[in-house]
Amino acid sequence: MKTLVSLCKRRGFIFQSSEIYGGLNSCWDYGPLGVQLKKNIERYWWDTMTLRDDIEGVDASILMHPRVWEASGHVEGFTDPLIDCKKCKARFRADALSEACCPEKPSKHPGECGGELTEARAFNLMFKTYMGPVETEASRIFLRPETAQGSYVNFLNVQTTMRKKTPFGIAQVGKAFRNEITPGNFIFRTREFEQMEMQFFVNPKEDMKWFDYWKEERIKWHKSLGIHPQKLRFYEHGKDQLAHYAKQAFDVQYEFPFGWSELEGIHNRTDYDLSRHEEFSGKKLQYLDDDTKEKYIPYVIETAVGLNRTLLAVLCDAYHEEEVKDEKRVVLKIKPQFAPVQIAFFPLSKKDDLMNLTHNIKNRFSKKYFSQFDVAGSIGKRYRRQDEAGTPYCVTIDFDSLEDKKVTVRDRDSMKQDRISIDQLENYFEDKFK
C-alpha cells in the first residue's frame, strides 16, 4: 500500500488533506487525476443505473430531520462498543481489543501499560452538529451516515411524480460520514466518504428473485471496470452478522493488498425502512398496484457500494511493476474507458511547427477524450510518466510527421508502436475505446 500511496501523491491522484498543516488523520484530497478517475467511475455507475427505465435518480440533502435517524435505527443501534484505558486515555473497540496496541507502549496490548480498562460503552458513529445559532439538544442534527435514507423518505415523491410501478429503483450518489474508531488503509476506511447506493422497491413476494438478480448484476459491474475476476468474490453474512434491517446480505469483496475486504453490500432490507418511516412520520408509505389492486409496503433490495473503495480497488488492481531493459517500469493498467488521461500528445521537440501540429491534432481529440500535452524531457521519460498515470495511448509527433502526415501511437500495456495517418486517428481511437 505504501508504494501505491506514494504513486498517488507523485502523480496527482490523492493527497493528504490539509497537508501543509501536517495533515488530518484519515482525510484525503483527490488531485487532478484522482478526481477525474473518481468521476469516471461515478458516471459509469450512474449511467448503469439510471439509463434503465426502472431506476430514477435523486440527490437528497446530507442534513436530514433528526427523526429520520431514530426511525432508521441509527440513533439506537449505529454504535461500536468502546473501552477506555484510564491511564493513557486511549479508546479501543471492545470487539478488536486483542488486535489493538497500547499507544504508550506499542508492543503491548491495551491495559498492559498498567492502566485500568473501563467496561465497554456504546459509542454512536454518527457525526453531530447544530442547525442554527443555538447549540442545544433541540437543534442537534446529524451528518448522514448513509445515503439510503434520503431515498426512502422520497419513496412516494419519486413513485408518484414519475408514475413508477414496482419493481423500480432510486439511485443516489453522495457523501456519507461516520466517526469510525479505526479508520485506515489509505482511502479504504475514512470518516468522510462517498456512496453509490440504489434502493430497489419490489413486491414482497418477489424479494428473493430480485435479490439474486442484483447480486449477479453487481458482480458483473465490478468485473466490467476491468478488475481481475479472480480478485472478486461474494461473502455471505451469517445470521449473527446481519445488520438490524437485513433479512439476507452478501458483500462483494476485493482482494486488497491487506486482504479480502468489502467493496459493496447487497442487502434485502425487507419493509423495515419504509415501515419505520411510516410509523415515525405518521405518513402512509404504501404502494397500491393499480392492476392487481394489491396494497403493500414494498421490500427493498439495496446495492450499496463505496466510490472511494471502488477507486482504490481499481488502482490496486491496475498497479504493475515490470522489468523493461533492466529498468523497473511502473504502470497503471486502468481500463482505457476509465483512465483519467486517455491520450497524451508529445511533440518531439519544442520547434514551432511541431508544437503547432501537435496542438492542432490534440484540439481535435480533447472534447472527446481526456487529453494531455507534454513536451518536457525525453520521449522515454514522458512514456514513464504517462505509464504511472495510467494513460493508455501516447501520440508522438516528429519531424517526419510534417512530411508523411503520420504520427506514432504507443500502447501502454504492450508498449507496441503503430505509425498511423493523422486523418485515420479518429477511427483508430474509436476502435480502441470501444
Residues binding ligand GAP (CB under 6 A):
146, 148, 178, 180, 189-190, 193, 195, 197, 262-265, 302, 304-306, 308-309
Q: What is the largest CA-CA distance in the chain?
A: 81
Judged by beta carbon, residue 183 or residue 336, the one nearer ligand GAP is 183
Q: In the complex, what is the shortest distance from the CB of residue 256 to ligand GAP, in angstroms, rounded to a whole number?
A: 12
- Nearest to ligand GAP of 125, 375 (CB atom): 125
Using DSSP, state whether 265 is helix, strand or coil.
strand
We find the least distance from the C-beta atom of residue 289 to ligand GAP, in angstroms, to be 26
User: CA distances (Å), 212 to each of 49, 50, 207, 240, 247, in order?
Assistant: 17, 20, 9, 21, 13
User: What sign results for the dihedral spanned by CA atoms 223, 224, 227, 228?
Assistant: positive
CB closer to ligand GAP, 265 vs 392: 265
User: Exposed, middle or buried by CB within 10 Å (0-12, 13-18, 19+), for 106?
Assistant: exposed
DSSP state of 323: E
- Compute the least distance from the CB of residue 218 to ligand GAP, in Å: 11
The dihedral built from the CA positions of residue 193, 196, 200 and 204, taken in this order, carries a sign that is negative
Residue with Cβ nearer ligand GAP (197 or 374)? 197
Find out whether 89 and 202 touch, Cβ atoms under 8 Å.
no
Residue 278: which residues within 8 A CB-CB, separation 6 or more?
284, 285, 286, 297
- Cis omega (within 30 of 0) on the bond before 133? no
Task: Please give the torsion angle defined by the CA atoms of residues 225, 228, 229 and 234, in that order, rounded to the nearest 10 degrees.
Answer: -80
Q: Which is nearer to ligand GAP, 266 or 389 (CB)?
A: 266
Count of residues in the chain:
434
Which of residues 306 and 340 has its CB atom nearest to ligand GAP in the complex?
306
Environment class of residue 85 by beta-carbon count within 10 Å: exposed (0-12), middle (13-18) or buried (19+)? buried
- 387 three-class SS: helix
Q: Which is nearer to ligand GAP, 186 or 338 (CB)?
A: 186
Least separation in angstroms between residue 230's CB and ligand GAP is 20
> Which one, 197 or 398, has the nearer CB to ligand GAP?
197
Whole-angstrom CA distances from 156 to 67, 80, 149, 211, 228 are 18, 33, 13, 22, 40
Distance of closest approach, residue 264 Cβ to ligand GAP, in angstroms: 5
Q: Give the residue among 124, 261, 237, 249 at the shortest CA–CA distance from 187.
A: 261
Decide if 166 contacts 201 (C-beta within 8 A). yes
Least distance from ligand GAP to the Cβ atom of residue 262, Å: 5
Closest CA to 198 of 180, 187, 213, 177: 213
3-state SS assignment for residue 139: helix
Can you say how many angstroms the Cα of residue 313 is from the centroid of all Cα atoms in its chain? 9
Q: How far is the CB of 245 from ligand GAP (least distance, A)?
A: 9
In angstroms, give the least distance from the CB of 193 to ligand GAP: 4
Amino acid at 295: K
Specify the residue, 180 or 212, whose C-beta has the smaller distance to ligand GAP: 180
Q: Which residue is nearest to ligand GAP (CB)?
A: 306
Compute the distance between CA of residue 13 and CA of residue 6 in angstroms, rounded to an integer: 10
CB of 166 to ligand GAP, least distance (A): 20
Q: Provide the minimum distance between the beta carbon of 184 and ligand GAP in the complex, in angstroms, as a whole number.
A: 10
- Closer residue to ligand GAP in complex, CB, 166/185: 185
Write down the least CB distance from residue 390 to ligand GAP, Å.
Answer: 22
190 vs 270 by CB, closer to ligand GAP: 190
